[in-house]
Amino acid sequence: ALVAGLLFGAAVACRSDALVVAPAFLGVSWMRRRHPRALLASLSCVAVGALVVLAMLYAAFGFTLVDSLDAARHAVQSWSRGPSLKTHAATLVFFIGLPAIVLGAISFGLLVKRRDRVLVLTVAGMPFLYNLVYLGKAWEARSFLPMTPFFAALVCLGARWAIDHASRIQRVVLVALLAIVWIAPPLRIATHDGPREVVGRLWAPVLWSAWQQQRRADTEGFESFARGLTTATLVMTSDWNADRYLHLALQDAGFRTIGTLGGPACGRVVETFSRGDVVVRHLRLHVPFVAIHPAYLPLRYDTFVAACGEAPARTFQAGSLATLRDAGMADRWTPFSMEQVPTLRFLPPVVTEPDGVAPLDGPALRRLRHHWEAQATQSIAADGAVLPALLPASSHAIDAWFAPILRSLHAS
C-alpha cells in the first residue's frame, strides 16, 4: 500500500487529474482485506506515500498542490473547446476497440448478476466516474490511459467467461465476430495521437510504422534545413509540431540559445539561436493550450515587428501546408514528406499533414499577415470569444502560471 501511495503521488504530480482515480484504492483495499481496520491501515499507507512524494516534489520547486490545480484550471479554461459527446464517444471507441467493448459489456452483465457491489463499483464504476468527469471533453485517445487497468480487467473477465462458461454456439459466434472485427482490413483510419482504426486492430503495427515513417521524414527534413542555415534567418512556425521540431533540429545542428536581442517583449514570442556568427530567430506564432489559437497569430507577429524589428531578408514559414494554402501561397512550400504514406496493398494509406518550409519575401509576409487577420476574426466570431486577459501580452498561456517552476529550474 505504501508503494502504491508513492506511485500515486508521482502520478498526481505529473497529472493532477489522476486524483479522479483515488476512489479505486477504497475498492481494491476492501477486496484484499475486507476488514474495517485493515482498510483504514491500507488507505493510511496510500495517503502517507502520496503526500510524501507530493511534499518533496512541491518543496523542491517552491509551489503547492493548490498552485498545480490552479494552473491546470487556467490551462483547461484557455484550451477548452466546449463539450462534444460525439467526439468523446469516438475517442473512447478508438482507444478501447470493438472487441474490448463487447467483452467489457459481457463482464459488466456478469458482475451485476453476481451482485458483487464492491467489484462492480471498482472495475466498472471507475471508468463510469472518469467518463462523467471528462464528459464531452475527451479530445485525444491518451485521455483514457489512466483507465487502462479497469478496461483490461473487464476484458479479462469477459474473456474468461467465454472460455469457461459460454456454450459452444455462443463461443463460436463470439470468436467469429471478434475475429472478423480484429482481422478485417480497416475501412477508415483516423488520427488520434497516431493512426486509429475501429476495425482491423491486427494491422495497427503496420499503420503505426507508416505514420512514424512520415514523422521521421519530417524531423529529418527540419534537421537538414537547420544544418543549411548559414546567414541571419527568421523562421516562423504556426503549429505545435513545427515549433518543437525546429527547436530540436537547431540544437542538433549546433545552434545554442542566446539572450533575446529585443528585450522581454521580444523574448515572449521569439527564441534566438546562434552558431558562430550565424543568428537564427524562431518566431513562435503558435499558442498552446488555447482553443482559438489562430486568433493570436497576427497579435504575436505584430509583437515581433514592434519589439524585435522587421524580419530579415531571409525569412521562412515552417510547418504544415494549411497556413500557406489558405493564404493562396501553396506554390512556395516544399514538403519534407508525403501526405499519403502507403502501407500494405489491401490497407488504406495513412493520411497525415506533412511539414515543410516556404521562403517569404516582403509582399508574401504582408499577404500572410492579412490572411492571419481574417483567420483571427473568423475564429473569434465562431467561438464568440474575446481576446482579453486570457493570456499575458502575446505570451504562451502556460508561462505565467508555471513561472515559479521555470525560475526554480533555471536557478538549479
- Residues linked to residue 391 through DSSP beta bridges, in sequence order: none
Whether 384 has a pLDDT exceeding 70, the answer reads no
For residue 340, give the 3-state DSSP assignment. strand
The pLDDT value recorded for residue 229 is 92
Encode pLDDT of 137-187 as tens digits: 787 888 888 888 888 888 888 888 888 888 888 888 888 888 888 888 887
Of the chain, the percentage scoring pLDDT greater than 90 comes to 9
Using CA atoms, how far residue 81 sits from 76, 85, 395, in Å, is: 9, 12, 20
CA-CA distance, 162 to 171, in Å (whole number)? Answer: 6
Q: Which of 125-139, 211-225, 241-255, 385-399 has the lowest mean pLDDT?
A: 385-399
Find the mean pLDDT for residues 331-352.
Answer: 82
Q: Where are the alpha helices (DSSP H) in 21-116?
A: 23-33, 36-61, 65-79, 85-96, 98-114
Top pLDDT among 285 and 32 is at 285
Q: What is the DSSP string of 180-234?
A: HHHHSPPS--EESSSEE-SS-GGGHHHHHHHHHHHHHHHHHHHHHHHHT--S-EE
Q: What is the DSSP string of 371-394?
A: HHHHHHHHHHHHHT---STTSSTT
pTM, two decimals, is 0.76
Whether 387 has a pLDDT exceeding 60, the answer reads no
Burial of 25 from C-beta contacts in 10 A (0-12 / 13-18 / 19+): buried
- With beta carbons less than 8 A apart as the criterion, state whether 78 and 72 touch: no
The pLDDT value recorded for residue 247 is 93
The pLDDT value recorded for residue 274 is 93
Whether 396 has a pLDDT exceeding 60, the answer reads no
| Most confident of the ranges 89-103, 168-182, 221-235, 303-317 | 221-235
Task: For the chain, give the mean pLDDT.
Answer: 81
CA-CA distance, 167 to 257, in Å (whole number)? Answer: 67
For residue 163, give the 3-state DSSP assignment. helix
Crossing angle of helices 204-227 and 240-252, in 10° steps, is 60
Residue type, 247: H
Find the mean pLDDT for residues 351-360.
Answer: 86
Cell matching residue 170: 455462443
For residue 359, give the 3-state DSSP assignment. strand
- With beta carbons less than 8 A apart as the criterion, state whether 352 and 216 touch: no
Using CA atoms, how far residue 375 sits from 30, 97, 369, in Å, is: 55, 37, 10
Q: Residue 235 — pLDDT band, cuts 50, 70, 90?
A: very high
Find the mean pLDDT for residues 215-242.
Answer: 90
Residues whose CB is less than 8 angstroms from the CB of residue 143 and which lie 6 or more positions away in sequence, other chains included: 91, 95, 134
- Residues linked to residue 98 through DSSP beta bridges, in sequence order: none
The pLDDT value recorded for residue 221 is 92
The pLDDT value recorded for residue 106 is 86
The pLDDT value recorded for residue 260 is 64
Q: How do 350-351 and 340-341 pair as beta strands?
A: antiparallel
* Nearest by Cα to 7 from 52, 70, 40: 52
